[in-house]
Amino acid sequence: MSRFRADLLSDTITAPSAGMRAAMAAAEVGDDVFGEDPSVRALEERVAGMLGHEAGLFTPTGSLANQLGLRLHVRPGQELLSDAGAHVVRAELGAAAVFSGITSRTWSAPAGRLDPEAALELAQVGVGPYQVETALVVVENTHNFGGGTIQPIDSIRRLRSATTDLGIATHLDGARLWNAHVATGTSLADYGTLFDTVSVCLSKGLGAPVGSVLVGSAEAMAEARVWRKRYGAGMRQAGVLAAAGLYALDHHIERLADDHGRARRFAAAVAEVAPGVVDPGGVETNIVMLDVAAHRVDPRAAVAALGERSVRVYAVDSRRLRCVWHLDVDDAATDLAVAAVRELLGH
């Protein structure tokens, strides 16, 4: 249990609910390294079906799911392309280079919004021994550091059409794809089938304690299973964790709309006292970015000041605070956060 009454640090900090804990305790289990855990198999099959793919692979973390996806598509010395704020290049500690010998190039994406043309301008194929070959384009939806931005599906379709013609693979970092689905009504399969591989996270907005799922073709997931073991992430009786994910799929997807509504309400209230700090119209899902430097407030000082008021937030960079809504932040906690931030910025 957090010591903060409004803990907006991340949607990864949730505690399993009583119902989720009961499902975990009752889970049927087996040895997943041998492919014998029925709960894990059920989770993998279910998520793959939801996303329109043949097969899935349960992983302990979203970063591992992404790294396995990248490994499938990019040979050592080839490159991936992503926007400059993407999680795979900003927050996975250089894992693509360390584990797989992958180089990266990026394009600028204000608010994390996908611009297919900007990505395609960087792509290089058939360049022989003279330049690095592009093998993969990565898209993040929703976009974390962009502020929960939803990628327009028409932009994704344009990118997919062009990359297919070029023979370049695509991977979706869909850690918060559930939020995009709930906010837009676009089906998970409509998003998922536009990519060769997709990773989705169960331990962010869905509230599971651990886990992500990577989906793709059956052949690709068989290869990813081998690499998961090589990376030291083969799990044994992992059904107790998979059961939490299955429970989350049953109970915690549609309620994401509550997080979105509270985030927008918070942004609107902050904008009343400090309109340059946040644009409520730009809040699309459960993440609110506050440009407190525009109000002559240092983000790190703001983190400390809000912490004294029992509100925890994250300093993204030298200008912005990130506030994230999740199933452990209710209306009362949102009201507390509104009052604390308004007081801070009002002074």
Domain ends where: 200, 223, 251? 251
Tell me if 24 is assigned to some domain. Answer: no
Same domain assignment for residues 151 and 286: no
pLDDT band at 346 (very low <50, low <70, confident <90, very high): confident
Same domain assignment for residues 73 and 101: yes
pLDDT band at 2 (very low <50, low <70, confident <90, very high): confident
pLDDT > 70? residue 347? no
Domain ends where: 251, 279, 294? 251
Domain ends where: 251, 269, 284? 251
Tell me if 311 is assigned to some domain. Answer: yes
Domain extent, residue 108, equals 31-251
Q: What percent of the chain has pLDDT over 90?
A: 97
Same domain assignment for residues 182 and 312: no
Same domain assignment for residues 207 and 331: no
Q: What percent of the chain has pLDDT over 70?
A: 99
Nearest residue to 320 (alpha-carbon basis) of 282, 281, 289, 279: 289
Check which CATH number belongs to the domain holding 72 and give it: 3.40.640.10
Q: Which residue type occupies 155?
A: S
pLDDT given for residue 312 in this prediction: 98
Average pLDDT, the chain: 97
Look at the chain and report how many structural domains it folds into: 2
Give pLDDT tens digits for 166-202.
999 999 999 999 999 999 999 999 999 999 999 999 9
d(CA 210, CA 12) in angstroms, rounded, equals 9
Give pLDDT tens digits for 44-84.
999 999 999 999 999 999 999 999 999 999 999 999 999 99
Nearest residue to 137 (alpha-carbon basis) of 89, 202, 76: 89
Q: Which pTM was predicted?
A: 0.96
Residues 6+ apart with CB under 8 A from 284: 142, 147, 148, 149, 150, 183, 260
pLDDT given for residue 42 in this prediction: 98
